[in-house]
Structures are given as structure tokens and as C-alpha cells.
């Protein structure tokens, strides 16, 4: 038992530092997808409601493709496909160079696209719950479409969409384990390396499970707080 615990120490010969570094990469990757995936998903949902059929077609195609493809396949296409495309473009311009894309950036782009596709459906469902009369009332008050969206619609969308977005976030957090396939050293990659060296799979896989469960528990508390925050005005008007 003591020998197993020593494998998790932060001293020389222990894997504690490596596992912690991998956990930080995991959470950093997941968080870095939010600034791209959330607004892009909202933009896709807005486009799906557009009166322009070409814009609607783009939104439908985007959502269908990235929701239909396995996350691993999307990751591999972004990582290897972008490198190959960049090399071909450079070759056409007369440059013979080896192009290498940063694994973290490739994973961030791939998972952001997947997150945007799934979150767009959540945003779209939230749009359908908002009465059309609110848009008409805002127009009668002389509010522009942008102001109406920012001041009237978006706060309601955020409150309604939060439960669905929290599920998407947890899926994103778990999907980050796939980046080990492109050699990004995240928690799962470090766990596999530790197992291959120490030959103690149960110990390290159990630690990885606790790590992901810890992230999920913290995320659950955070989303509960956000739901209460966005619902505070709704509670205050109840008799």
C-alpha cells in the first residue's frame, strides 16, 4: 500500500506532478473551448432562424455534420487534415516545408466546433420558448434588434439554456480524453504513461476517475450557482 502511495507522490520517482500537469491541461483545454463554442453555437442558432434560406442551410449543415461525426474523427480530421492542406497550399506556392500544427490548438478548434454544434440545438430550443410578443413590444418601444437581443432576449436564453449547456460541458470535459490519440499530454495521456511504466493500472485509472469526477462535481456546483443567479429576478416577482 505504501509503495502504491509513493507512486502518487510529488517527489522524485512519483507521478503526482505529472498527473497534476495533465489534469491542468485537461481543464485548460475544456475551458478554452467555451469562448469559441458558446458564441458560435448561439450564432448557428440565430442563423437557423434566419429568413435567408442560404443562411439557414449553412446552419443546418454545420449542426448536422459536427453532431453526426464522432468526436475522435473530427479531432483527427482537424489535426491531420489541416496539416496536409497547409502543406499542399505551400507546395502550390513553391515552398517545400513541413507543417506541424500545435496539438492543443487543433484539439481546441475541433472540440469547439463539436460543442458549438450541440449547443446550437440548446440555444434553438431556448429561442422557441420566448413569446413573439416580447419582440413586438421591444419594437414598439423603439428598441433596435441588437438592443432587444442583448437586453431582453439573451438573459432569458441564458437562463433557459443553462441546464442543457451544463450537459454539453460535461460531455466536452469527458471528450478531452481523446486528445491522447494525437499525443497531447493531458490527464488521460499521463495516466496511460504511468500505467505503462509502473504496471499498476488500477491505481492510476482510479486516480484518473477521481480527477474527472472532481471536475464534474465542481462544474455541477458552478452551474447550480449560475442557474440561481439567472433566475433571481424570476423568483423575486413570484407572489
C-alpha 171/C-alpha 188 separation (Å) is: 15
* pLDDT single digits (tens) 59-92: 999 999 999 999 999 999 999 988 888 888 888 8
Candidate from 65-69, 74-78, 136-140, 218-222 with smallest mean pLDDT: 136-140
Query: Binning pLDDT at 50, 70 and 90, where does residue 233 land?
Result: low
Higher pLDDT, 131 or 113: 113
How many domains is the chain partitioned into structurally?
1
Q: Per the domain annotation, does 74 fall within a domain?
A: yes
**How much of the chain exceeds pLDDT 70, in percent?**
95
Q: Per the domain annotation, does 8 fall within a domain?
A: no
| Residue 40 scores a pLDDT above 70 | yes
Q: Per the domain annotation, does 83 fall within a domain?
A: yes
Mean pLDDT value across residues 184-191: 90
The DSSP code for 131 is -
What lies within 8 Å, CB to CB, of 143 at 6+ separation is 151, 152
Mean pLDDT value across residues 103-120: 95
Q: Per the domain annotation, does 7 fall within a domain?
A: no
Mean pLDDT value across residues 1-21: 76
| Residue 227 scores a pLDDT above 90 | no
Q: Per the domain annotation, does 112 fall within a domain?
A: yes
Q: Per the domain annotation, does 235 fall within a domain?
A: no
CATH at 35 = 1.10.3720.10
Q: Which of 116, 214, 128, 130 is nearest to 169 (CA)?
A: 116
Q: Per the domain annotation, does 158 fall within a domain?
A: yes
Please report the pLDDT score of residue 1 as a whole number: 53
Q: Per the domain annotation, does 183 fall within a domain?
A: yes
Range of the domain at 44: 15-230
Within the chain, residue ranges assigned H as helices are: 2-7, 16-48, 53-68, 71-76, 82-92, 103-128, 132-140, 145-148, 154-175, 187-198, 201-230, 232-236
Amino acid at each position: 500500500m505504501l509503495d502504491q502511495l509513493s507512486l502518487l507522490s510529488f517527489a522524485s520517482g512519483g507521478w503526482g506532478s505529472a498527473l497534476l500537469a495533465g489534469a491542468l491541461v485537461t481543464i485548460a483545454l475544456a475551458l478554452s473551448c467555451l469562448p469559441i463554442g458558446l458564441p458560435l453555437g448561439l450564432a448557428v442558432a440565430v442563423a437557423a432562424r434566419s429568413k435567408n434560406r442560404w443562411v439557414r442551410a449553412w446552419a443546418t449543415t454545420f449542426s448536422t455534420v459536427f453532431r453526426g461525426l464522432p468526436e475522435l474523427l473530427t479531432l483527427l480530421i482537424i489535426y491531420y487534415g489541416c496539416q496536409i492542406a497547409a502543406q499542399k497550399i505551400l507546395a502550390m506556392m513553391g515552398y517545400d516545408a513541413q507543417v506541424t500544427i500545435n496539438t492543443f490548438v487543433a484539439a481546441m478548434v475541433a472540440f469547439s466546433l463539436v460543442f458549438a454544434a450541440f449547443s446550437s440545438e440548446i440555444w434553438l430550443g431556448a429561442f422557441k420558448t420566448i413569446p413573439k410578443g416580447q419582440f413586438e413590444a421591444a419594437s414598439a418601444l423603439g428598441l433596435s434588434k441588437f438592443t432587444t437581443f442583448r437586453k431582453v432576449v439573451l438573459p432569458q436564453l441564458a437562463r433557459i439554456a443553462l441546464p442543457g449547456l451544463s450537459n454539453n460541458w460535461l460531455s466536452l470535459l469527458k471528450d478531452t480524453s481523446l486528445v491522447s490519440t494525437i499525443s497531447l499530454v493531458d490527464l488521460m495521456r499521463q495516466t496511460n504513461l504511468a500505467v505503462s511504466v509502473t504496471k499498476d493500472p488500477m491505481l492510476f485509472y482510479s486516480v484518473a476517475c477521481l480527477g474527472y469526477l472532481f471536475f464534474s462535481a465542481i462544474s455541477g456546483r458552478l452551474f447550480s450557482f449560475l442557474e440561481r443567479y439567472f433566475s433571481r429576478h424570476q423568483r423575486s416577482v413570484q407572489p
